[in-house]
Amino acid sequence: MQFTAAQIAMMINGKVEGNAETTVASFGKIEESVSGQLAFLANPKYEEYLYSTGASIIIINESQELKKEISATLIKVPDAYSAFATLLEKYQQIQRQQLTGIQQPAYISASAKIGDNVYIGAFAFIGDHVVVADGTKIYPNAYLGNHVTIGNNCIIHPGVKIYHSCKIGNNVSIHAGTVIGSDGFGFAPQADGTLKKVPQIGNVVVEDNVEIGANTTIDRATIGSTLIKAGAKLDNLLQIAHNVEVGNNSVIAAQSGISGSTKVGNNVMIGGQVGIVGHIKIADGSKINAQSGVSKSIKNPNSAVTGSPAFDYTAALRSQAASRNLPSLEKRVIELEKLLKEMMVKSNS
């Protein structure tokens, strides 16, 4: 597919400077692009390549000051990074719209309801009373258990497993190997030392515009729903336990785990390898630094914490600075003790 600078500018509400009929057929990094490719500049560290790149079209910020002449056609926008993301999304949508139909072999229950313009890949399993809405793409080897509901324009990548009765909203993307709705980790200790499994009879509800990375697990609720709210973005290799709630537009990085019944607020940012205990609340706008261990509720909105156990980020930095000075402080104390001892000897003589 080829697009002109004018067509691209229309897609991202940009302003063309140069030849509006210049065409591109692919994307490239600004430091590596060749003729016929489109690149973008958002990070000032790459500004030098603006003047040497072979790209035919470059998306740049309106605020970018040009220091030399540029042979490429420019498209100026308020935010080049966001504009480029929008363009990639539109390009991806065009590609996916071409993917429709049901490949064989695939199992689709007679009671399942399949919408228009749906793609179902080979070896997919669609259980009883499943609903797959319009425009959704289900890639090979995916599994949808009985009574699962999938909204419009979702992407279920290869090998995703969605257990029975779970509900997925609209415009949700779930990447390969993720498991939605496996049993929560609930066991009741018995008098004889054994552990009795607590049946997990709830489900998982994923609201609209959520993205879930590869090989993530989201456990079904014991009773009720484990809830991933609209706009949340979950990375690869996460563990979300039973009855957890993740708030609107919250972001969780890879290898983090959230224990059962914890409520994560809206617009929370959680770094990689964070561990959060169960039955606590994380206030809206909280920021949790990578590898932190959160053992109690974060009550104040927009707080930043770090460490294990996690505590206030600014206080933690001061503590780290103080700890680095301990060797010199010890030396000064020894010198003061020596000086004090000499003064005492003089005063007694």
Enzyme catalytic residues: 242
Residue found under tokens 């489109």: 38
Cβ-based neighbour number of residue 129 at 10 Å: 14
Please list the residues that pair with 197 across neighbouring strands: 187
Q: Please, are residues 72 and 49 in contact by the beta-carbon 8 Å criterion?
A: no
Which DSSP category does 105 fall into?
S
273-280 long-range contacts, CB within 8 A, separation 24+: 275/308, 278/241
Q: Are strands 113-114 and 131-132 parallel, antiparallel or unpaired?
A: parallel
Q: Please, are residues 111 and 128 in contact by the beta-carbon 8 Å criterion?
A: yes
Cβ-based neighbour number of residue 233 at 10 Å: 18
Q: Are strands 217-219 and 293-294 parallel, antiparallel or unpaired?
A: unpaired
Q: Please, are residues 34 and 15 in contact by the beta-carbon 8 Å criterion?
A: no
The full DSSP string for 10-68 is HHHT-EEES-TT-EE-EE--TTT--TTEEEEE-SGGGGGGGGT---SEEEEETTPPP-S
Supply 81's token pair: 């990074």
Give CA–CA dist 221/204, Å, rounded.
7
Q: How many helices (H) and strands (E) does the chain have?
A: 4, 40
Q: Please, are residues 280 and 261 in contact by the beta-carbon 8 Å criterion?
A: no
Q: Please, are residues 237 and 215 in contact by the beta-carbon 8 Å criterion?
A: yes
CA angle 13, 19, 23 (to 5 degrees): 80
